Amino acid sequence: MKIDINIFIKNELKKITYENFSKKYITQHLIPIINHINDSNDNKFIIAGPQGSGKTTISKLLKVVIEKIYKKKVMVLSIDDYYLSKKKRIDLSKKVHPLLITRGVPGTHNIKKLKDHINQFIQNRFPIRSLTFNKLTDDVLKKRRIIKNADILLLEGWCCGSKPISNKYLHKNINDLERRLDNKNIWRNYYNSFLKKEYSEIFSKFEKKIYIKPPSFIHVIKWRYKQEKQNALIKKKKISMSKKKLEYFIQHYEKQTRWMIKTMPAEASIVIKINKNQKIEKIIKIDNF
């Protein structure tokens, strides 16, 4: 029995987002992305975008649709699962700069382990025991996710695919956190040095990049706080981070997020332009597909 791809996507989106999407929306905005991945000669893709832009949603949808409709196994790695342990970040904060206690920027990931797992996929060496990170406890879990085989790799994450930040922009203070807590540029020079070397080496393994572009940075804070409220509602708990704390937290990400909004559209094979309601407004085609 042939599966109707539009109905299948509509049902899967309802499971993931609890929202209904029209056939027109699915046909115009989602099927082209699915086809781009399924029909490509490449089998490794970066999915990047700021916090709350829908990277995880798109990754989940791509995995389930491609596996069900096209019978190809999809392995999704999230860079968020490769954050360093709390202990290692505390050590970094003492040795290099206090701001490195906060997860997020390049240099706060277990980049060696991520590189190993990507190379395992390239060399077809399975199983892969991918890491898992608990954001509530802010620490690495002992639990590992076992991936037995895969035809396609999706690497998703807010900083994935980013080029190093130019020194002129890097050293310009754009928020209070940089102005007050990194006035000697130690923290930002540190994370940008990782972006130039270890992270660039990993990102260079991916020829195809999909970038989700927000209307502006200001929406990132709103989306991230919306996530906090939704997670609290689902888990029937209090919001783990107040809006004030969240705004401070996002200042750690602000520079690179703004940098990627400016530079990633030229790097990506597909740019997904979303509106303030986190819905796809337009797909800007960079590569022919």
Q: How confident is the model at residue 226 (pLDDT cuts 50, 70, 90)?
A: confident
Are 274 and 284 within 8 A, CB to CB? no
Average confidence (pLDDT) over 74-102: 98
Q: What is the CA radius of gyration of the chain?
A: 19
Terminal alpha carbon distance of the chain? 28
Output the six-digit token pair for 105.
Answer: 């920027």
63 φ/ψ angles, rounded to the nearest 5 degrees: -60, -50
Question: pLDDT, tens digit, for every residue of 163-212?
Answer: 999 999 999 999 999 999 999 999 999 999 999 999 999 999 998 999 99
SS3 201: helix
CA triple 213-219-225, angle to 5 deg: 120
CA triple 91-86-101, angle to 5 deg: 60
Q: Output the CATH code of domain 5-285.
A: 3.40.50.300
For the chain, give the number of residues.
Answer: 289
Q: How confident is the model at residue 69 (pLDDT cuts 50, 70, 90)?
A: very high
**Is residue 269 predicted with pLDDT exceeding 80?**
yes
Domain boundaries, the chain: 5-285
**Is residue 254 predicted with pLDDT exceeding 70?**
yes
Which amino acid, one-letter code, is at 238? K
> Residue 234: exposed, middle, or buried by beta-carbon count in 10 A (0-12, 13-18, 19+)?
exposed
**127: preceding bond cis by omega (within 30 degrees):** yes
